[in-house]
A and B are shown apart, each in its own frame.
Chain A
Amino acid sequence: MEKFTSLTGIAAPMPLVNIDTDMIIPKQFLKTIKRSGLGVNLFDEMRYDNDGKEIPDFVLNQPAYRNAEILVAGDNFGCGSSREHAPWALLDFGIRCVISTSFADIFYNNCFKNGILPIVLPQDQVEILMEDARKGENARIAIDLESQIVTSADGQEFRFEVDPFKKHCLLNGLDDIGLTLEKVSAIDAFEGQAAQARPWV
């Protein structure tokens, strides 16, 4: 997994609430057996018409946002299906950070497994960043994971919370399976005890 330490970039505004993972990557693209190559179909049904042509109004089709690395989104981003294809598609497009007032649980966890930082901030702060995002190339948002600070285009600093373990893995690009396997003796011991206590499992 690629590390995430800090990022300064253009943010795309997506104020719609309840953007679900079916919107982020529709089911016809889940038939892949790979993780890569999904960026072109990110937000497919919002981004392309029935003939596969770009819909010019859609934010990521606008010249200012084609290289966006941050999304500022409405409440409850990533709800619905557990498909990890959603963060894979975001990452493949180039998005490394999503900022919202709230995220759905499974999507939130999936982001951290893929080097994407989801940031939860209060409504008023998200609105300030949403205004920055609307300015396109005329505004840059800065994110620093180590200090847990988002800086708006005019220098306002907003501190965000992140679970220490998730932060550690993201800062160092760590494979958490490898970390868990360091605790294999604890797993062995648990299995031994569980086999006595609940042999039917």
Chain B
Amino acid sequence: MAKTLYDKIWDAHVVHEDSDGTCLLYIDRHLVHEVTSPQAFEGLRMTGRTVRAPDKTIAVPDHNVPTTDGRDNPDQMPEDSRIQVAALDTNAKEFGIHYYPVSDVRQGIVHIVGPEQGWTLPGMTVVCGDSHTATHGAFGALAHGIGTSEVEHVLATQTLIQQKSKNMKVEITGSLPPGVTAKDITLSVIGATGTAGGTGYVIEYCGQAIRELSMEGRMTVCNMAIEGGARAGLIAPDEKTFAYVQGRPHAPKGAQWDAALAWWKTLHSDDDAHWDKVITLRGEDIAPVVTWGTSPEDVLPITANVPDPASFTGGKVDAARRALDYMGLTAGQKLTDIEIDTVFIGSCTNGRIEDLRAAADILKGHKIRVKRAMVVPGSGLVRAQAEEEGLAQIFIDAGFEWRLAGCSMCLAMNPDQLSPGERCAATSNRNFEGRQGRGGRTHLMSPAMAAAAAITGRLTDVREMMAQPA
């Protein structure tokens, strides 16, 4: 029978299937961070259980960690954050799992560290107590977020109890116009389907525009599959995937590489596979986009105006009214007239080296016209590479703060937060009320668009700032 990529990965990991279709699914990689794991490790202790597969379990602190110099000194953290990071240190040591502490140059956001170190490979099942685990789907891995009870379940059994999701295909045909990026694709898809459009599905992204993306761009697309409500987002592995993976510290080598590659090449949806839902967007039609409201589905091209709540239907009318009030915006206002206080470049969505290159390319030779701007690289290695390439100096010369790696202002669990009313152009993934700090106002966009906003002090169409071809 013809299968989708999701079907193939699923079938390769079923340990046991009950008569009602409930499956026990084997987990190849379990990523762990400090916020959603302490109660799970405590649960193991209370029941006398242990970690079944410590070699497949990788931990890194990222959510709480400060991004300022001198953070090796734990006194720099608030007491509750310090306790949470210390708990991860202790749990990693006690249960013998792989660990990248704050002092390690490889530390960073868990979803950037996993691929960077070669832990994430095609055809794997990958879970983490974090919704943006979807990121790893870019490798053709079935990757999704889980709650803390499920973290404990995976630690104890290396499996998850799962019901299979339905198959959804999201095809992006043609090529993207200049100035349009992976972030614009993923936001535009959510804008088209809504934040519940993917509920009950695993999405496979395909089409020419997806194939033309780099691995980093594909990670950006899959990262926000969760914002579209999907359990996971997937992209079939190809030569770009294999080239990215080869040579990474935990990627297979020698004869194992050859065997892995042979299997990975079978990981694609069959031509006549069944799809429960299909969405098609034309790459040529996608523009640089920003969000105007407090849900990631509140997406519009930068050339548009703030919508009138009355133009929506059902519960969305009140939600849009509330969003405009929270965001301090007026229906009909041009998006490019919205003034920005702060720019945040980073997160598991857009904290990789290509993101920093894209932003630096726009910023080169300019000064910021916002109150503050910060770059938070996704990992210590991304940071080091950006320094080597001279990107750090471009950011610093423009007036950006050059920070250490972590989740930072994406969710503002560490001191990097917005004040009430402060308006931020952010490359992260959520514009929820209070997400970046109580009363903070978030507009989501690509790194290049965030850089353009930093230069002008307002939401800006990056295409106007791009060098004209000779």
Contacts and interface: CB of A to CB of B under 8 A. Distances in A.
A178 B375 CA distance: 45
Interface stretch (A55-63, A71-79, A135-143): A71-79
Contacts of A181: 156-157
A200 B124 CA distance: 11
Interface in B118-133: 121, 123-124, 129-131
Interface string B29-52: 000000110110010000101001
Nearest to A32: B80
A162 B404 CA distance: 46
Given A23-B432, A45-B434, A187-B26, A198 B147 contact: no
Given A22-B433, A84-B148, A110-B149, A199 B256 contact: yes
A80 B131 contact: yes
A17 interface: yes
Interface in A59-105: 74-76, 79-84, 87, 102-105
Interface string B255-282: 0110110010000000000000000000
B434 A23 contact: yes
B163 interface: yes
B131 A81 contact: yes
Given A113-B147, A186-B16, A176 B161 contact: yes
A137 B15 CA distance: 49
Contacts of A45: 433-434, 438
Contacts of B384: none
Contacts of B304: none
A74 B315 contact: yes
How many A residues are at the interface, by size bracket?
A: 35 or more
A147 interface: no
Contacts of A81: 130-131, 411, 430
B396 interface: no
B97 interface: no
A32 B42 CA distance: 12
Contact of B153 (A82, A102, A180): A180
B81 A105 contact: no
Contacts of A176: 153, 161
A198 B150 contact: no
A177 B433 contact: no
B239 interface: no
A109 interface: yes
B430 A190 contact: no
B18 interface: yes
Nearest to A111: B147
B199 A104 contact: yes
B177 interface: no
B190 to A, nearest CB: 11
B116 interface: no
A176 B47 CA distance: 13
A151 interface: no
A74 B315 CA distance: 7
Contact of B81 (A16, A31, A87, A103): A31
A110 B316 CA distance: 26
A22 to B, nearest CB: 4
Given A33-B83, A79-B195, A82-B130, A177 B157 contact: yes
Interface string B44-67: 000101001000100000011000
Interface string B217-238: 0000000001101110000000
A184 B15 CA distance: 10
B329 interface: no
Interface string A7-26: 00000000111101011001
A83 B262 CA distance: 38
> Which of A33, A80, A163 gathers most chain B CB within 10 Å?
A33
A163 B163 contact: yes
Contacts of B145: 82, 106
A194 B315 contact: no
Contact of A80 (B147, B150, B430): B430
A84 B16 contact: no
Nearest to B160: A180
A165 B161 contact: yes
Nearest to B198: A105
Contacts of B318: 15-17
B315 A83 contact: no
A16 B319 contact: yes
B413 A22 contact: no
B204 interface: no
A186 B15 contact: yes
Contact of A26 (B22, B144, B152, B434): B434
Nearest to B200: A105
B411 A113 contact: no
A76 B190 CA distance: 14
A28 B196 contact: no
A199 B84 CA distance: 35
A180 B161 CA distance: 8
Contacts of A31: 35, 64, 78, 80-81, 83-84, 413
Interface of A: 15-18, 20, 22-23, 26-28, 30-35, 45, 50, 74-76, 79-84, 87, 102-106, 109-110, 113-114, 163-165, 176-177, 180-181, 183-184, 186-187, 190-191, 194, 198-201
Top-7 shortest CB links A-B? A200-B252, A113-B149, A84-B147, A110-B147, A31-B80, A17-B315, A33-B38
6 contacts: A31-B78, A31-B84, A79-B229, A104-B199, A109-B147, A113-B147
